[in-house]
Amino acid sequence: MVDPIQIKDLTYKYDTDGEEVLKKISLTVKKGEWVAIIGHNGSGKSTLSRFLNGLLVPEAGEVIINGMDTRDEDKMWEIRKYVGLVFQNPENQLVGTTVKDDIAFGLENNGVPTMEMEERIRNSAEKVGIAHLLSEEPHRLSGGQKQRLAIAGIIAIQPSVIVLDESTSMLDPQGRKEVIQTVLHLRETENITVISITHDIDEASLADRILVMSDGEIVRDGAPEDILTDEEFLIDQSLDVPFSVKLQRYLLKEGINLNHVTLSLDDLVEELW
Ligand code: ADP
């Protein structure tokens, strides 16, 4: 089976005489994986995400999505259907006068027949838990509901990969939780591949794999339990240290013996979520 995302030696600069914002990035993401991308501001995370559905096209290196080269203009629509991008601010993504119209918009653009549209709208609204809001006006929804609507609009198109670019950062804790649970559910039920760019270290800790970007490079690629417990590295990268890691260090410093306590990062995060 071909991997959904294969990037090889991707180098990019916005201006020909400007700095390289991506430097020889190589990356493979497997089907059904949840990869969180973290890194300081300006490290190139958003730029990288724009290469994943062809919003940006490589000049040096290559980006292959489900076997399709993003430089191939004939494949552009197929690539956009395969990878759905959800941005930070839900307000900018909502276009319909009702929730239903809003989800319909992307389907119309993709030429989905009317009969099938009804079914896809209902299905995607149900998957993100907003089926009871279909005739609501989008601007009346809460932040979490708006972002879930933006996700519904994307999943109605039935992508295999969802890229969330800081999609939870404008939400309150409840909204964040709603969006993350929605995505987790989709991954479980549909085996969707998820790429989430986030500042929220607790959110990143739930992913299968974390990529850390710094100055246009991937400086670490590994399991959350390896990366997020490396306090020195996180501080060096101007990243937050997870609460659970700080707590463990504090308890150890105070001489509290944890040998008989099963305090795993996963358990703790689950408990606190
Ligand atoms: P991150 O998402 O990690 O904050 P970005 O990918 O947004 O990083 O930005 C990486 C670098 O590219 C930064 O130096 C930023 O100023 C620059 N940049 C981002 N978008 C543009 C743009 N549209 N035009 C020129 N430079 C840009």
Domain residue ranges of the chain, discontinuous segments joined by +: 30-53+74-224
Question: Closest ligand 1 atom, CA of 41?
Answer: 4
How many angstroms separate the alpha carbon of residue 45 from the centre of ligand 1?
Answer: 8
Question: Closest ligand 1 atom, CA of 216?
Answer: 10
How confident is the model over 206-233, as pLDDT tens digits?
899 999 999 999 999 999 999 999 999 9
Instruction: Report which of 231, 242, 234 is spatially closest to residue 264, judged by C-alpha positions.
Output: 242
Q: Is the pLDDT of residue 162 over 60?
A: yes
* DSSP characters over 119-163: HHHHHHHHHTT-GGGTTS-GGGS-HHHHHHHHHHHHHTT--SEEE
How many angstroms separate the alpha carbon of residue 18 from the centre of ligand 1?
Answer: 11
* DSSP characters over 2-62: --SEEEEEEEE-SSTTS--SEEEEEEEE-TT-EEEEEESTTSSHHHHHHHTTTSS--SEEE
- Is there a contact between 179 and 144 (Cβ–Cβ < 8 Å)? yes
pLDDT mean over 156-169: 91
pLDDT mean over 238-246: 86
Residue nearest to atom 1 of ligand 1 (CA): 42
Q: How confident is the model at residue 105 (pLDDT cuts 50, 70, 90)?
A: very high
Q: How confident is the model at residue 254 (pLDDT cuts 50, 70, 90)?
A: confident
CA angle 162, 166, 170 (to 5 degrees): 125
Four-way CATH pick for 30-53+74-224: 3.40.50.1980, 3.40.50.360, 3.40.50.300, 3.20.20.70? 3.40.50.300
pLDDT at position 265, please?
Answer: 52
pLDDT at position 244, please?
Answer: 77
Question: Closest ligand 1 atom, CA of 166?
Answer: 2
How many angstroms separate the alpha carbon of residue 77 from the centre of ligand 1?
Answer: 25
ipTM of the complex as predicted: 0.98
Residues 13 and 16: their CA atoms lie apart, in Å, by: 7
Q: Between 90 and 48, whose confidence is greater?
A: 48
How many angstroms separate the alpha carbon of residue 240 from the centre of ligand 1?
Answer: 21
Which tokens hold the place of 114?
């009317």
Place of tokens 């990143």: 204
Question: Closest ligand 1 atom, CA of 44?
Answer: 6
Place of tokens 């990268």: 237
Q: Between 240 and 248, whose confidence is greater?
A: 240
Strands 209-214 and 34-39: parallel
pLDDT at position 261, please?
Answer: 56
Which tokens hold the place of 7?
């990037």
How many angstroms separate the alpha carbon of residue 21 from the centre of ligand 1?
Answer: 7
Place of tokens 């294969």: 6
Q: Is the pLDDT of residue 271 over 70?
A: no
Question: At 259, phi and psi to the nearest 5?
Answer: -55, -35
How much is the CA Rg of the chain, to the nearest whole Å? Answer: 20
Residue nearest to atom 16 of ligand 1 (CA): 42
How confident is the model over 24-45, as pLDDT tens digits?
999 999 999 999 999 999 999 9
**How does the average pLDDT of the chain come out, rounded?**
89
Identify the weakest region by mean pLDDT among 148-152, 165-169, 211-215, 233-237: 165-169
Q: Is the pLDDT of residue 71 over 90?
A: yes
How confident is the model over 117-132, as pLDDT tens digits?
999 999 999 988 899 9
269 three-state secondary structure: helix
How many angstroms separate the alpha carbon of residue 190 from the centre of ligand 1?
Answer: 32
pLDDT mean over 155-160: 92
Instruction: Report which of 204, 249, 208 is spatially closest to residue 228, judged by C-alpha positions.
Output: 204
How many angstroms separate the alpha carbon of residue 42 from the centre of ligand 1?
Answer: 5
Residue nearest to atom 19 of ligand 1 (CA): 47
How confident is the model over 171-210, as pLDDT tens digits?
788 778 878 888 888 888 889 999 999 988 888 998 999 9
pLDDT at position 269, please?
Answer: 55
Instruction: Report which of 68, 88, 86 is spatially closest to residue 78, judged by C-alpha positions.
Output: 68
Question: Closest ligand 1 atom, CA of 50?
Answer: 6
Q: Is the pLDDT of residue 158 over 60?
A: yes
Residue nearest to atom 7 of ligand 1 (CA): 46
- Ligand 1 binding site (Cβ under 6 Å of any ligand atom): 14, 21, 39, 41-47
Question: Closest ligand 1 atom, CA of 48?
Answer: 6
